[in-house]
Each structure stands twice: as structure tokens, then as C-alpha cells.
Amino acid sequence: MDEKVYTQSMLKDNAFEGKTIVVTGGGTGLGKAMSKYFSELSANVVITSRKIDVLKNTAEEISDETGHEVLPVQCDVSDYHQVEELLKESVEKFGKVDSLVNNAAGNFISPTERLSNRAFDVIVNIVLKGTYNCTLAFGKDWIEKKQPGTVLNIITTYAWTGSGYVVPSAVSKAGVLALTRSLAVEWAKYGIRLNAIAPGPFPTKGAWERLLPGDLVEKFDFKNKVPLRRVGEHQELANLAAYLISGFSAYINGETVTIDGGEWLQGAGQFNFLEALPKDMWDSIEKMLRKK
């Protein structure tokens, strides 16, 4: 097997023929990578965020490459009225929506005591409020029209561990995890599935500029925190996302799939720090322990 098979497309061509997928934050980073892949698989893709110029450029770039139309729609997901307009425009253009990917986010590092209440609000409004706004608007529409649907929420591994220095993001992602699990049960009867992906480090301009500014990028190289000693490739996340919104994952509901090379478990395991011990130290430790 090719050792970098994860950089290749996983699903078959045309897997999303006739499907419409809305990706929030689809103009940049991981949202763009997922949107491009869904389009390669023949989906109608709607990308949305606050910056219409960025969206238009991405839409054009993707459709030039894939030959499938990508609709850019300006929408601030923290505003419910704009989300309703996004739904309306998507349905008017493509007839129906099959999947929603809640990927839009805001984040930056800061000691929490330095944050104003507005700084806290702005992150919660994008990540948590934006996700429930979209989920509620699209979910209500599916229920009313008796249509099935899938929702995929992009969270993080600190949704369950918590993390200092990104506290507004951590509380918001934890809320999104609770939303995913709660509605997976409540809305299953309507044929609506919800799942989440918790990515480890995947280099993107948006995340790296705000989480590793200046020389922090050299000081805290994320790959050193990952047991597999590498960061993620966008295509492997796109492969997982495509699987989770597709009918191939029909029995997976309320699940969070972690894709982080083992990063969060390395931080969690009590004795994982012993990784740092060299072989000769293990030889003397073994001798000491066996004597006892």
C-alpha cells in the first residue's frame, strides 16, 4: 500500500451526485479543503462566511478545477436572520440541502483574565451560537419537509479536556459536542444524523496566525506533540468528513471521530512522559525493579 494513501481521494467519483452540501467557513482552510473534495465528488456545494470576496475566489477556483458549481453566500452565522437567508438561497439555487457542515470558527490565544467580555462573546457567538443557529434553521426545514439530513460539526479535542489560553473556544466547542450528542438522539426519528470530527493540528493560515503567532511556531512545533510525529493533511480530514456526511456512515450517529495522530491521548496518559527515557536508563530501571 502507498504509504501516503491518506492524501488521496477515498470515496468513489460521483459519490455526492445530486447532493447539496453547505459548508460554513468554506472559503478558507479546512472548510475549503472539504468543499473542494465534496465538489470533486460531484456535490453542489454552498460555501459561506463573512468575507464575500474570499468566498467568490474560492468558489471560482474550486468549480474551475472540478467542473461543478459552487455557490458563495455571504452570511455571519452568529445572526439567525442571515442563516435563514443562507438556507433560502441554497434551496432556491439547488432545490434542497442534504448536509450541513458547521466548520466556521473564531479563536486566538490569550490569558483569560486579559479578555474583555466582548472578546469572550465574539468567539462564543461564532462557534457555539453559529453552530446552533445553522443546525436549528436547517434542521427545522428538514423536519418540516420530511427530508433526511446529516450534520457534521468540526470541534477540537479540548472540547472534552478543556484547555487554558483558548477558553472561549473550549467552552464553545464543548457546547457543540453536547449539541451533537443531544440532537443525534432527539432528531434520529426524523432521519437526521449528527456527528463531529475533532481534529488535532492541521496547518491552516487562519489557525496558525492566531494560535502560533511570531516565533511560537518554531518554539512549539505542533508535530512534536503528536505520537505519529506529523501534522494532519487536509485531504485525510476531507476523506473523513465526506464519509461522515455520506450514506456510507448511515449507522454512525452522535459520534465524535478524533483525527489527531494520538495527540490528546499522549497528553492524557499518566506515564506517557516515560517516552523521554533512553534505552540504557530502561536497562538500569529494569534491574532495580527486578531486584525488588
List active site positions.
158
Number of residues near ligand NAP (by CB under 6 A):
29
Q: Which of 9, 11, 50, 257 binds ligand NAP (CB under 6 A)?
A: 50
Print the binding letters for residues 95-134 with ligand HXC: x by CB under 6 A, - otherwise.
Answer: ----------xxxx-x---xxx-xx--xx-----------
**Axis-axis angle for helices 29-40, 52-66 (nearest 10):** 30
274 binds ligand HXC (CB under 6 A): no
**Other C-beta atoms lying within 10 Å of the C-beta of residue 216:** 12
**Other C-beta atoms lying within 10 Å of the C-beta of residue 26:** 33
Q: Which of 15, 45, 62, 130 binds ligand NAP (CB under 6 A)?
A: 130
21: three-class secondary structure by DSSP: strand
Binding partner at 51 among ligand NAP, ligand HXC, none, C-beta below 5 to 8 Å by kind: ligand NAP
Binding partner at 30 among ligand NAP, ligand HXC, none, C-beta below 5 to 8 Å by kind: ligand NAP
Nearer to ligand HXC, 82 or 246 (CB): 82
Specify the pairing of strand 99-102 against strand 20-24: parallel
Cβ contacts of residue 94 below 8 Å, gap of 6+? 20, 44, 46, 71
Phi/psi of residue 225, each to 5°? -90, -5
Grid cell of 270 as nine digits: 499518566
Judged by the rule CB under 6 A, the positions of this chain that interact with ligand NAP are 24-25, 27-31, 49-51, 54, 75-78, 103-106, 126, 130, 154, 156, 199, 201-202, 204, 206-207
